[in-house]
């Protein structure tokens, strides 16, 4: 499994949620704030099986294409390692 951490501007979070729900991709969203986006943003955390990783990347690519402003971006981090291990 892979973990994905994405910081998404609030005005684009609805699109991300809709696309994830259409493809039955589960996620956790956390309201977050910070200076580098200068506006409200949401942090989205996904744990996804390796075989669905390209599908998720496609969702982020689709949203990125819709963003026309150069100052606004999606910040997506793909993390390696074991995800979902319980202690």
Q: Helix %, strand %, coil % for the chain, to 5?
A: 35, 30, 35
| Domain contains 87 | no
C-alpha distances out from residue 51 to 34, 40, 42, 74, Å: 32, 32, 26, 22
In tens digits, the chain (87 residues) has pLDDT values of 888 888 888 888 899 999 999 999 999 998 877 665 566 788 899 888 889 988 998 998 888 887 776 556 677 877 765 555 444
pTM confidence score: 0.74
| Domain contains 84 | no
Query: What CATH number did the domain enclosing 59 receive?
Result: 3.30.70.120
């Amino acid at each position: 499994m892979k973990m994905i951490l994405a910081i998404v501007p609030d005005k684009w979070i609805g699109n991300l949620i809709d696309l994830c729900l259409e493809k039955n991709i589960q996620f956790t969203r956390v309201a977050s704030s910070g200076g580098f986006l200068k506006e409200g943003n949401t942090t989205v955390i996904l744990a996804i099986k390796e075989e669905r990783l390209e599908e998720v990347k496609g969702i982020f690519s689709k949203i990125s294409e819709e963003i026309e402003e150069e100052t606004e971006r999606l910040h997506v981090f793909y993390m390696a390692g074991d995800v979902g291990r319980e202690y």
